Amino acid sequence: MTHRLCRLWRICFFLLTLGSPPSWQVRDAQGVQHWRRVKVNLEEHVHVPTFPSGLDTYDEYVQDYISKIATNQMPQSRPLWDLHLIKFPTSKAEGTLVFRIHHSLGDGYSLMSALFNCLQRADDPSLPLTFPSGSKPKTKPTKNGMVRMISKVSSSLSMCVNTVRDFGWSVLKSNLLEDDKSPVRSGTPGVEFLPITLSSIEFSLDDIHKIKTKIRGTINDVICGIVFLGIRLYNEAASEEARAKAANVTALVLLNTRDIGSYSYQPLSEMTKPDTKSPWGNHFAFIHVGIPSCKDPMNADPLQFLQTTKKIIQERKNSLAVVLTGKFLEIIRRLKGPEAVAKYVHATLRNTSTAVTNVVGPIEQMIIAGHPVRSFHFTMVGGPQSLTLGVVSYMGKLKLAMGVEKGFIDPKLLTSCMEKSFERTSQAAIGVKP
């Protein structure tokens, strides 16, 4: 198969949430579920679609094919992954390689680790891939001992208050409270089974860092701020109803709970050790982030909007709600099994408007079987939402992949709004008036 790969490829990575764990996930004597080893027939997992010949580009065919497989359930009779080798050129690449993997096999960190262990650096395959550092903005320590003590007491009290508020709100949002219907949330029952349209855009990572420095925040603050402003711009442009424009919109931001310090991916042999800090599997939690309201997003100060977003996220982080959520999911798993956890997460997704997940990609260009990877996208599909967002960095660019409910959300308009949000924020960060 590898000798037929085209010159420049893009990789699409889907984390599929549809369906239940298969029957070959068994329980041991202690009642703990684990995977049963099975024989893998590669011909059942590798798919090579065919399209009509003679066209210069196959953008529409590839888009339709990817959208179709994104919502198809995987057969429960074999391991829950497949590979689609699309050997037709598009305007973005000479070919497209799609990895589709069920979420029950692992979270984004686990599966990205497996993928990156299979790829090599284009400039020197003997060297390991390197990843951007996840350093946080430095704060100057307070010299005065009394001021420092008061600050610690105040911070501890604030953490207690934030923990009670955030964890309580998270439980309510997961079980009782639903977002309003809006241009980005249809609220249609069974929306996860409806056709979707996938699109992607990219931003300069250098510009993202400039914005990060300007607001004295993190990369995650900037990503969320730009995406949230883009959603507000879309709501403004897609609806004439004041109620829809001001709708209550909540984003579910998914977080890795592993104790890994600086962001890095581990060899698979390390991840499968019993005492490792970066274990294989699903180890994540989430925070509910209410997207800031904005009366006039077209003329709003983008940096002020990002500062508001940053403040909300920092308040969520300045609590133990994320830790408690992770522990809560673990308790559910131990008492009722992974299916109960899946149902809880499903309800959480259903009650919110969108999910934002981001992973760190390599700085260098990758190669697969000796062929360069030109572009790389990651997203989660099959969730009960009209809009899902996946972000990954690669080769100095930030790739934003968007999965939208077909016929409900206009992907071209949404893309335009996201680009406008980034452009306005980037210009404001360097002092250029729009």
Q: In this predicted model, what pLDDT tens digit does every residue of 243-255 receive, in sequence order?
A: 666 788 999 998 8
Question: Per-residue pLDDT tens for 378-433?
Answer: 888 888 999 999 999 999 999 999 999 999 999 999 999 999 999 999 999 988 76
- In sequence order, the β-bridge partners of residue 379 are 14
pLDDT band at 80 (very low <50, low <70, confident <90, very high): confident
Q: Is residue 56 part of a domain?
A: no
Q: Is residue 75 part of a domain?
A: no
- The angle, 0 to 180 degrees and rounded to 10, between the axes of the packed helices 145-175 and 302-317 is 90
The confidence score (pLDDT) of residue 75 equals 82
Q: With a cut of 90, say whether residue 221 has pLDDT above it.
A: yes
161 vs 303, which has greater pLDDT? Answer: 303
Q: Is residue 272 part of a domain?
A: yes
Using alpha carbons, list the distances in angstroms from residue 404 to 148, 345, 356, 415.
48, 19, 13, 11
Asked if 62 contacts 94 with a C-beta cutoff of 8 angstroms, the reply is no
The confidence score (pLDDT) of residue 139 equals 54
Query: In Å, how far from its chain's centre is CA 418?
Result: 16
Tally of structural domains, the chain? 1
Q: Is residue 36 part of a domain?
A: no
Q: Is residue 80 part of a domain?
A: no
Mean pLDDT of 355-360: 90
Q: Is residue 289 part of a domain?
A: yes
Mean pLDDT of the chain: 85
Mean pLDDT of 362-385: 89
Please state whether beta strands 46-47 and 387-394 pair in parallel, antiparallel, or not at all (unpaired).
Answer: unpaired
The range of the structural domain enclosing residue 405 comes to 165-357+398-429
Q: With a cut of 60, say whether residue 340 has pLDDT above it.
A: yes
Most confident of 104-113, 259-268, 322-331, 384-393: 384-393
Question: Per-residue pLDDT tens for 116-158?
Answer: 888 899 999 999 899 887 555 555 555 567 666 776 777 778 7
Q: Is residue 132 part of a domain?
A: no
pLDDT band at 5 (very low <50, low <70, confident <90, very high): very low
147 vs 18, which has greater pLDDT? Answer: 147
User: Using CA atoms, how far apart are residues 39 and 41, in angstroms rounded to an integer?
Assistant: 7
The confidence score (pLDDT) of residue 24 equals 57
- Please give, one letter per residue, the 3-state secondary structure of the chain: CHHHCCCCEEEEEEEECCCCCCCCEEECCCCCEEECCCCCCHHHHEECCCCCCCCCCCHHHHHHHHHHHHHCCCCCCCCCEEEEEECCCCCCCCEEEEEEEEHHHCCHHHHHHHHHHHCEECCCCCCCCCCCCCCCCCCCCCCCHHHHHHHHHHHHHHHHHHHHHHHHHHHHHHHCCCCCCECCECCCCCHHHCCEEEEEEEEEHHHHHHHHHHHCCCHHHHHHHHHHHHHHHHHHHHCCCHHHHCCCCEEEEEEECCCCCCCCCCCHHHHCCCCCCCCCCCCEEEEEEECCCCCCCCCCCHHHHHHHHHHHHHHHHCCCHHHHHHHHHHHHHHHHCHHHHHHHHHHHHHCCCEEEEEECCCCCCEEECCEEEEEEEEEEECCCCCEEEEEEEECCEEEEEEEEECCCCCHHHHHHHHHHHHHHHHHHHCCCCC
User: Using CA atoms, how far apart are residues 350 and 361, in angstroms rounded to an integer?
Assistant: 28
Q: Is residue 262 part of a domain?
A: yes
Mean pLDDT of 298-308: 94
Question: Per-residue pLDDT tens for 396-409?
Answer: 999 999 999 999 99
CATH of the domain at 341: 3.30.559
Around 292, how many Cα atoms within 13 Å sit in the side-chain half-sphere?
25
User: Using CA atoms, how far apart are residues 166 and 179, in angstroms rounded to an integer?
Assistant: 16
77 vs 418, which has greater pLDDT? Answer: 418
Q: What is the pTM of this model?
A: 0.86
Q: Which of 128, 70, 116, 132 is nearest to 373 (CA)?
A: 116
In the chain, the amino acid numbered 157 is L
The confidence score (pLDDT) of residue 17 equals 61
pLDDT band at 2 (very low <50, low <70, confident <90, very high): very low
The confidence score (pLDDT) of residue 3 equals 36
425 vs 28, which has greater pLDDT? Answer: 425
Question: Per-residue pLDDT tens for 194-214?
Answer: 999 998 999 999 999 999 999
User: Using CA atoms, how far apart are residues 380 and 402, in angstroms rounded to an integer?
Assistant: 9
User: What residues contact 366, with CB distance under 8 A and at least 6 apart?
Assistant: 116, 119, 120, 121, 122, 129, 372, 373, 376
